[in-house]
Amino acid sequence: MSMTLALQRSIQCTPDRIATSCHGRRQDFRSFGDRVARLAGALRAIGMAPGDRVGMLGLNSDRWLEVAMAVWWGGGVLNPVNTRWSVPEIVYSLDDCDTSILLVDDHFVQRVEGIRATARRAPQVVHVGDGDTPPGLRSCESMIERAAPIEDARRAGDDLACVLYTGGTTGFPKGVMHSHQTLWSICMQRLAQTPLGPGPSVALHVAPLFHIGGIGRALVQFVAGETHVLVSGFDAREVMQTIEREGVTDVLLVPTMLQALITHPEFDCFRLDSLQRLVYGASPIAEAVLERAMAMLPGVAFTHSYGLTEAGGVTSNPPANHGAAGRASGLSRSAGRPGLGVAVKVIDAEGGEVARGEVGELLVRGPNVMHGYWNKPEETARAIREGWLHTGDGARMDPDGYVFIVDRLKDMIVSGGENVYSAEVENVIARHPAVQACAVIGVPHRQWGEAVHAVVVRKPGASLDDAGLAGHCRQFIAGYKCPKSVEFREALPLSAAGKVLKRELREPHWAGQQRPVR
Amino acid sequence: MSMTLALQRSIQCTPDRIATSCHGRRQDFRSFGDRVARLAGALRAIGMAPGDRVGMLGLNSDRWLEVAMAVWWGGGVLNPVNTRWSVPEIVYSLDDCDTSILLVDDHFVQRVEGIRATARRAPQVVHVGDGDTPPGLRSCESMIERAAPIEDARRAGDDLACVLYTGGTTGFPKGVMHSHQTLWSICMQRLAQTPLGPGPSVALHVAPLFHIGGIGRALVQFVAGETHVLVSGFDAREVMQTIEREGVTDVLLVPTMLQALITHPEFDCFRLDSLQRLVYGASPIAEAVLERAMAMLPGVAFTHSYGLTEAGGVTSNPPANHGAAGRASGLSRSAGRPGLGVAVKVIDAEGGEVARGEVGELLVRGPNVMHGYWNKPEETARAIREGWLHTGDGARMDPDGYVFIVDRLKDMIVSGGENVYSAEVENVIARHPAVQACAVIGVPHRQWGEAVHAVVVRKPGASLDDAGLAGHCRQFIAGYKCPKSVEFREALPLSAAGKVLKRELREPHWAGQQRPVR
């Protein structure tokens, strides 16, 4: 089980197939493989030993994928750097896993000085890109040009493949360790459950490659030996343009991206009918968004994939549950059943399995679970107990094994002794025709401990006030679940993965309180 | 990666789905899982420790699958015993891997005495079946009835799952070691490349479960969580009856079985249109048989799967290459491309990779390759060198990575300095309308070293003589490839897996020769 074996198969069987297409630049697997084998040789030549961590700081591109494969081909371990992070955060992650070589694309060269100045051990820096290489940096293109291709180092199985740093929204970032085996398992599961085809697959990678969702989907495409299309980041118009121009068949989107796509004023100007499959995940989707997206993309099979950085492909809800039948049965709101070969269970605070239908913490066991956190044995032991990864997500399971993610447990609001799950309230608010986006948090309340608070973004030109929203909510949910206060904003703060940063929303409310921000 | 995790998923998500149907007896996954957990407890109670080998000697049945899962659930290692073997051969394999418990079904209880009398360490014997348990044997049913279900022992990954003894047609049998990981990889690859569905899958297991093809296909069904139908052995009429009665969607057949099916006089009496997929493999198929089968089963997707006991799922040729286009391009005769994540190469006698199109030995590397031969480190080192499994099969690869298996290298005939590959000659002979089956071997020849010799079974009522066959062959192949002698027989000797036992055909010709039988 090795990521490079997948590439070798493409070089052997389909050398002329397009491997990558990025901003008009296309190359086939022969060329891609040749560049990878040379870059691997060049990285070895500047000191990358088997098992060494190599960082990649750059926007999504064909070069990013070359670097990832070259690191593995040469026996190294990839550290995909979060591009949204500040220099101190980046330095923390590089120092934490002792990254000795850092590749940086044109967009981030200006951060190199700060990184070098503050890192415990300044990494060697290689400039990846089309612009001029700044003084003091190595040029990746020159290295590839001069290097001789080397043989695949054949890292596989339990050999560490990457260290993915998690959000860092609370406490210190943690480096999630995935091996070639765990990545391979995630890919094979995805392919077995949601097969590509018929016909060639062209996947657009728009979710950031430094996140498990982005890199995981890219690796699926490598394992299948099909074509990658890359855009630097999410821009709804560019995504639609690219789908049309490249004949994209597959795309993974987070809900906020999907929403931006279908609410874009030029949506009707693009032909998107090459799209066959759309996988969404990473954060809860409002039912209204999902239903509208399905109506606007009628030929597309929708799959909900639920996973974490610590475990890709935990559950998946197939297209069959997204139609009218799924809406009628309620299964369209499920995260699906456990992936093939994956075990999940829902436990209560004492660790016992809850009855079906009851909410508890979701646990996962299987070949898709990380090996642990880099250099944090205690955190690892807390996360993985007796083989079970504790997701921190609240969920319930129906009698047929369908999992419904209720909320991040830490997002749960306890108000007057009642548990309120933000997602449930958000789903109701999102149904209001004037609502573009929303987030529900707990804010401190003298009487109830916490009160339900809604942050709402109105659609352009739409009007909605506190009373209107309260009336709407009361139609659908119990009084204690309805927001006690509402705040209207222009936009919600989003993480790189498109998740709403609830911590930022909560902070001002909890400042000065004795209890920490939850 | 664990075989029992697959079963747990079915118990959790689809407890009411039919797990097994065998001679009219059906049980759902709830019941199947309950019996497995109890039998696992019973096996532990009579001394099965984690890692202990447990033998299963029986025809294909639901009970066979229960035993396999129970052994894994309890932490043991399965030794699936070849039912065609004589007592000394069975004893050799039990002794070789130190099998401490042996389960035997009704068909083989009469062999227990001989096994006990000659085994180095007589195993405990458990009778599996519906008949009365003979004195001195434990009854599996009573054990299940009395035992409490236990928790899954959670063997996984590199933990040994089974020891499969290979044919033993030359030298001593070798115990091929597969782990939970290798079996899981074989299953996931199969599902990713040849997805089941749409709709529920009902697989008929007719190939013997003690062979990699049979047990591998059964495990695919467990991983997918779909229904198993079992028949004791191959009987063309019963197979057709079962397909019709059970609505079978999937079947794996070896070429001799497929041929028997389509030449059966009652073929037209059965409705076989539930069949969606037919996978064939294990031995070369005559083109005439394949083409006729495809014409007679028009709604069925044919896939050729090539593998060995030492490595399942090496290559697979998808349905797309089996139609008219595949026949025109010649790809219908290919064994297909390497499996997802599997590396193959073709080497010459010096170990160098041959040019595309040239014949050499096929090598395999990947997660589907065995861990080695039980207790035979030297044989293992000969078979797996620098990570590459040497298949002993002659093959060529085309520019697009399609592999064509030419022949077992040891079946190659060297006549007058020219290499003759039996399969090529067999394919030509099989095209003759009067031929039911045939095998081509090398026999000693004073002048040429070896001469091409054909053994032919005529269709009932058809007439064909030496001259007729020679004239037919000369139409299609070079003179040196045409049989120099022909022998007409009523039937060919077949192994349990349906392979022609060429060694038996060769023996009388080579007796008294100084060179050993090849």
CB B32: neighbour CB atoms within 10 A?
23
Residue B177 lies in a domain: no
Which of A119, A122, A121, A124 minimizes the C-alpha distance to A143? A124
Judge whether A424 and A412 are in contact, CB under 8 Å: no
Q: Is residue B138 part of a domain?
A: yes
Q: Taking CB atoms and an 8 Å limit, are B1 and A184 in contact across chains?
A: no
Mutate to test the interface with A, among B159, B187, B191 (most CBs of A within 10 A): B191
- Determine the Cα–Cα distance for residues A74 and A51; give it in Å rounded to an integer: 9
Pairing of strands A77-80, B301-308: unpaired
| Residue A6 contacts B where some CB pair is shorter than 8 Å | yes
Q: What is the 3-state secondary structure (H, E, C) of A452-478?
A: EEEEEEECCCCCCCHHHHHHHHHCCCC
Q: Are residues B269 and B357 in the same domain?
A: yes
On whether both B388 and B450 belong to a single domain, the answer is no
Q: What is the pLDDT of residue B450?
A: 81
| Radius of gyration in angstroms for the set of CA atoms belonging to chain A, rounded to a whole number | 23
B366 touching A, CB under 8 A? yes
The helix/strand count (H/E) of chain A reads as 16, 27
Chain B residues within 8 A of A367 when measuring between CB atoms: 1, 156-157, 184
Whole-angstrom CA distances from A250 to A247, A515, B341 are: 9, 45, 21
Q: Are residues B309 and B444 in the same domain?
A: no
**β-strands A18-22, A227-230 pairing:** parallel
pLDDT at B469: 93
Is residue A381 in some structural domain? Answer: no
- Residues of A within 8 A of B191 (CB-CB) are 191-192, 340
User: In angstroms, rounded to a whole number, what is the distance separating the alpha carbons of residues B26 and B16?
Assistant: 11
> Which residues have CB under 8 Å from B432's CB, separation 6+?
B464, B468, B469, B472
Residue range(s) defining the domain that contains residue B372? 183-409
Q: Is the pLDDT of residue A159 over 80?
A: yes
A340/B9 CB distance under 8 A:
yes
Same domain (yes/no): B392, B449: no
Distant-in-sequence, close-in-space partners of A305: CB < 8 Å, separation ≥ 6: A190, A213, A252, A279, A280, A281, A313, A315, A316, A317, A336
For residue A80, which phi and psi values (nearest 5 degrees)? -80, 115
Same domain (yes/no): B74, B30: yes
The answer on B381 and B239 residing in a single domain is: yes
SS3 helix, strand, coil % of chain A, rounded to 5? Answer: 35, 30, 35
Burial pattern A121-131, b for ≥16 Cβ within 10 A else e, equals: eebbbbbbbee
Of A13, A224, A367, the CB nearest to B401: A13
Q: Is the pLDDT of residue A408 over 80?
A: no
Q: Measured between alpha carbons, how far is residue A151 from residues A1, A111, B57, B369 in Å? A: 17, 33, 46, 21
For residue A169, the model assigns a pLDDT of: 36
Instruction: Report how far residue A423's alpha carbon sits from residue A285's, in angstroms, rounded to the nearest whole number.
Output: 9
B128 beta partners: B105
Partner-chain contact A343 B184, CB within 8 Å: no
Give yes or no for a contact between A464 and A434, defined as CB atoms under 8 angstroms apart: yes
Instruction: Find out whether A101 and A44 touch, Cβ atoms under 8 Å.
Output: no
How much is the pLDDT for B55?
Answer: 98
Q: pLDDT at position B168, please?
A: 40
Q: How confident is the model at residue A117 (pLDDT cuts 50, 70, 90)?
A: very high
Percentages (nearest 5) of helix, strand, coil residues in chain B:
35, 30, 35
Structural domain contains residue B479 = yes
Together in a domain, B86 and B69: yes
b/e for B457-467, b at 16 or more Cβ within 10 A? Answer: ebeeeeebeee
One domain for residues B335 and B446: no
Set of chain A residues whose Cβ sits within 8 Å of the Cβ of B342: 5, 9
Q: Is the per-residue pLDDT at A514 higher than 80?
A: no
List pLDDT tens digits, range A41-76.
999 999 999 999 999 999 999 999 999 999 999 999
d(CA B500, CA B426): 12
For the cut 80, the answer to whether the pLDDT of residue A353 exceeds it is: yes
- Kindly report, residue by residue over B162-183, the tens digit of the pLDDT: 999 985 434 467 899 999 999 9
Query: Which CATH number covers residue A33?
Result: 3.40.50.980
Give a yes or no: residue B493 inside a domain.
yes
User: How many domains, in total, are found in chain B?
Assistant: 3
Note the pLDDT of residue A283.
Answer: 66
**B443 and B392 within one domain:** no
Shortest Cα–Cα distance, A388 to chain B (Å): 12
The CATH number of residue A442's host domain is: 3.30.300.30
B174-232 pLDDT, tens digit each: 899 999 999 999 999 999 998 898 899 999 999 999 999 999 999 999 999 999 999 99
Distance from CA of A427 to the nearest CA of B (A): 26
In a domain, A312, yes or no: no
Structure token digits, residue B78? 């399965």
What percent of chain A lies above the pLDDT cut of 70? 95
Do B446 and B403 lie in a common domain?
Answer: no
With CA atoms as reference, the chain B residue closest to A399 would be B13
Residue from A11, A189, A191 to probe the interface with B (highest B Cβ count within 10 Å): A191
User: What letter would DSSP give residue A494?
Assistant: B
Reported as a single tens digit per residue, the pLDDT across A275-332 is 999 999 876 677 788 889 999 999 999 999 999 899 999 999 999 998 888 888 989 8
Q: What counts of helices (H) and strands (E) characterise chain B?
A: 16, 27
Cross-chain residue pair B9–A343, CB shorter than 8 Å: yes
Domain endpoint, select from A129, A160, A182? A182
Residues 6+ apart with CB under 8 A from A93: A55, A79, A81, A82, A85, A99, A165, A173, A175
Whether residues A184 and B367 touch (CB distance < 8 A) is answered with yes
Same domain, B55 and B133: yes
User: In angstroms, what separates the C-alpha of A157 from chain B's closest C-alpha?
Assistant: 8
Half-sphere exposure of A195 (CA within 13 A, CB side): 16
In 3-state terms, what secondary structure has residue B176? Answer: strand
Q: With CB atoms and an 8 Å threshold, state whether B9 touches A223.
A: no
Q: Judge whether A60 lies within some domain.
A: yes
Pull the structure tokens for residue A239. Answer: 């995504």
Closest CA to B438 of B509, B508, B505: B505
Q: Which residues of A touch B154 (CB under 8 A)?
A: 387
Q: What angle do CA B203, B205, B211 make, to 5 degrees?
A: 135
Task: Name residues 9-48 of chain B within 8 A of A (Cβ).
Answer: 9, 12-14
Boundary residue ending a domain (A151, A182, A213): A182
For residues B368 and B241, membership in a common domain is answered with yes
Q: Which of A5, A12, A13 is the closest to B341 by Cβ?
A: A5
Please give, rounded to a whole number of angstroms, the shortest distance from the CA of A33 to a CA of chain B: 15
Last-in-domain residue among A182, A205, A233: A182
Q: What is the pLDDT of residue B515?
A: 43
Those residues with Cβ within 8 angstroms of residue B439's Cβ, 6 or more apart along the chain or in another chain: B422, B426, B454, B455, B492, B500, B502, B505
Verify whether the Cβ–Cβ distance B12 to A401 is below 8 Å. yes
Picking from A223, A225, A340, the nearest residue to B223 by CB comes out as A340
Residue B17 falls within a domain, yes or no?
Answer: no
Per-position pLDDT tens, chain B of length 518: 899 999 999 999 999 999 999 999 999 999 999 999 999 999 999 999 999 999 999 999 999 999 999 999 999 999 999 887 778 878 999 999 999 999 999 999 999 999 999 999 889 999 999 889 999 899 999 999 999 999 999 999 999 999 999 854 344 678 999 999 999 999 999 999 988 988 999 999 999 999 999 999 999 999 999 999 999 999 999 999 999 999 999 999 988 889 899 999 999 999 999 999 999 987 667 778 888 999 999 999 999 999 989 999 999 999 999 888 888 898 988 999 999 989 999 998 889 999 999 989 999 999 999 999 999 999 899 999 999 999 988 899 999 999 998 865 556 676 765 667 787 788 889 889 999 999 999 898 877 778 899 999 999 999 999 999 999 988 877 777 889 999 999 999 988 777 788 888 988 888 776 543 33
Q: The tokens of A74 are what?
A: 């040469």
- Chain B residues in contact with A402 by the CB 8 A cut-off are 13
The pLDDT, as a whole number, for residue A410 is: 59
